Amino acid sequence: MSILINKETSVLVQGITGKEGSFHTLKCLEYGTKIAAGVTPFKGGSLFNDSIPVFNTVAEAKSNIKIDATVIFVPAIFASSSVIEAVESEIPLIVCITEGIPTIDMMNVKSALRGSSSVMIGPNCPGIITADECKIGIMPGFIHKKGKIAVLSRSGTLTYEAVNQLTEAGLGETTCIGIGGDPIIGSSFLTFLKMFENDPETEGVVLIGEIGGTQEEEASEYVKNYMKKPVVGFIAGKTAPEGKRMGHAGAIISGGKGTASEKLKIMKKNGIHIAENPSVIAETMLKALKKH
């Protein structure tokens, strides 16, 4: 099994004819993803890659084709409108790859998502992949191999490092999600931890956090109270100075809150197995599985 996507998922690409959209659409197709249609305003009626219909709006695409998920490769200035268009069309899963979306725009997106039937991943994220079945986003597909460990991460590159280790260790992956590193994102760790706990094929979860915010602390409370599966955690940014932005817009320490040491202390207290450095993520998971 998997969560959210599988080999039958029918995917829409918003911004399919742009440079990023067209490049990554082809990569998703190569992986086996079912790209059903694309959206680019004023290019409706054309075909992408000689076979994929392009529509002017999300509503038009959905009225003609079954759509289970959409991925957004739209410039930051238009991205929030694209997300809201997908929410209004009741697309179940929205994956926004775009980075640099203004915070005020994301506040409007969060308002639109509230009470809707859509789940959003991103923005500023690598997307989601169910190993050997479906890739929605920019993750390098070749490092993934179907297995039993889920990966949840705020960091794109560390996601790839964790996945590569899990594959080489023979553990493999179920579904991997990069949730995004901005201060305001569509869904937090909590949304997906609940899904993974209920997924019978997921036997453990790797959770990769960063300094800044309180997501990791909230996730660790959920792990302590509700999860029976082992969770391995790693926090990036141990050496970051207070008050300085490091990498992602969400990775900023303020007033002593959101430090790596504070997060790790709480996570460990709540039963998460801590990987002391990124090179031992799979090794830590193997040990955690034996303890369970």
Which residues are catalytic, by number? 248
Tell me if residue 264 falls in helix, strand or coil. Answer: helix
List the structure tokens of 210.
Answer: 């960063």
d(CA 62, CA 161): 36
Measured CA angle at 92 (ends 8, 200), to 5 deg: 60
Q: In the chain, how many H helices and how many E strands?
A: 9, 14
Nearest by Cα to 236 from 135, 130, 141, 156: 156
Report how far apart, in Å, the C-alpha atoms of 64 and of each of 69, 257, 287 are: 15, 49, 50
End-to-end, the C-alpha distance of the chain in Å comes to 21
Tell me if residue 95 falls in helix, strand or coil. Answer: strand
d(CA 105, CA 82): 11
Residue with tokens 């039963």: 271
Q: Are 133 and 109 in contact (CB under 8 A)?
A: no
How many residues are listed for the chain in this entry? 292
List the structure tokens of 79.
Answer: 């991205």
